[in-house]
Amino acid sequence: MAETNVKEATTKEPLFQFGKKERKLLTDPLNDNNPITVQVLGICSALAVTSLVYPSVVMSIAVIFVTGFSSLFTSLLRNYIPKQVRMIVQLVIIASLVTVVELTLKYLNYPVYKQLSVYIGLIITNCIVMGRLEAFSMANKPWRSFLDGIGNGLGYGAILIAVGVVRELFGKGSLFAGSPIEMKIIGPTAEYFINTETSTLFGWYENNNLMVLPAAAMFIIGIMIWIQRSYNQKLVDIS
């Protein structure tokens, strides 16, 4: 695996620089080092919450927030955390941030909180978060750790939303159901975007119920890994 365990630079650097290295921290997890399709972490929630796009988006934002800020806080404390209990300290940081997410979501959008149910709480056990803390934040400066956390959250979120779009579009015929911008795309009646008032070309259309089942997410992620590896040859046989 392409761990980015950079040795800490001894020379004084500006606190918030954004050069090539920093950009790589953000973009690497989107493709070459994607937490889901390459590292195969966080699969549980990726299968469970992606039957609709809207909850997937909310879940992604929650994970980006948790990965970003847990990396930042761990990195800020990295020289003070006693090595013997470092995992417990990391866990407390993650758990507090997840609780913050949970309380905020309950306050701002209760129906989505109900829909995501246990999966918000289960961000604590999402391997992406703790994996990045152990591999990166414990050895790097706060700004870079923050970017690494955000990058990994984005890589997770991108896959989650992509899977959500495919599943909702073919499973329910809609996009963003449950949100204020609900769109009806494919379906048999005139209220769907694909049919106009006069033509009902898709009157025969039936939703594919398999897409709503969690198993569909596994097929979709599998196909995504396949496509990614077929054009990105360096990912093949590195494991």
Partner 1 sequence: MNSTNYILGFILAMTAIVAVLLTGLREVTKAGAERNEAIFNKRAILMSVENYLGDKQVKQLSDAEVENIFQNQVEQVVLNMDGEEVESMMAEDVDMAKERKKPEAERVLPLYIFSDTDTKEKFYILSVRGNGLWDEIWGNIALKSDLETIAGAAFDHTGETPGLGAEIKDNASFRKQFEGKKIYDAEGNYTAVVVRKNGARNDRYEVDAISGATVTCDGVTEMLQRGIKYYQPYLEELDAESDVQGFLVQ
Which residue in 91, 212, 218, 224 binds partner 1 (CB under 8 A)? 212
Residue 176 makes CB contacts below 8 A (sequence gap 6+) with 53, 54, 182, 183
* SS3 assignment, position 175: strand
Smallest distance from the beta carbon of 11 to partner 1, in angstroms? 28
173 binds partner 1 per the rule CB under 8 A? no
CA-CA distances (angstroms) from residue 216 to 211, 212, 236?
Answer: 5, 7, 24
Which residue in 104, 189, 196, 232 binds partner 1 (CB under 8 A)? 104
85 binds partner 1 per the rule CB under 8 A? yes
Which residue in 5, 11, 79, 84 binds partner 1 (CB under 8 A)? 84
CA-CA distances (angstroms) from residue 189 to 166, 181, 224?
Answer: 20, 19, 31
Instruction: Tell me the number of residues near partner 1 by CB under 8 A.
Output: 28
Buried b (16+ CB within 10 A) or exposed e, 1-28: eeebeeeeeeeeeeeeeeeeebebbbeb
Neighbours of 114 (CB within 10 A): 10
83 binds partner 1 per the rule CB under 8 A? yes
Smallest distance from the beta carbon of 180 to partner 1, in angstroms? 11
Which residue in 2, 87, 103, 190 binds partner 1 (CB under 8 A)? 103
**Which is it for strands 174-175 and 183-184: parallel, antiparallel or unpaired?**
antiparallel
Q: Which is nearer to partner 1, 144 or 167 (CB)?
A: 167
Residue type, 55: P
- The pattern of x and - marking residues 20 through 49 that bind partner 1 according to CB under 8 A reads ------------------------------
Give the CA angle between residues 42, 43, 46 to the nearest 5°. Answer: 95
Q: What are phi and psi of 179, to 5 degrees?
A: -105, 170
Of the ranges 60-68, 92-100, 123-131, 186-194, which one interacts with partner 1 (CB under 8 A)?
92-100
Q: Which is nearer to partner 1, 39 or 45 (CB)?
A: 45
CB contact at 8 A, 87 and 80: no
209 binds partner 1 per the rule CB under 8 A? yes
89 binds partner 1 per the rule CB under 8 A? yes
The footprint of partner 1 (CB under 8 A) covers 51, 80-85, 88-89, 92, 96, 99-100, 103-104, 106-107, 110-111, 114, 117, 171, 209-214
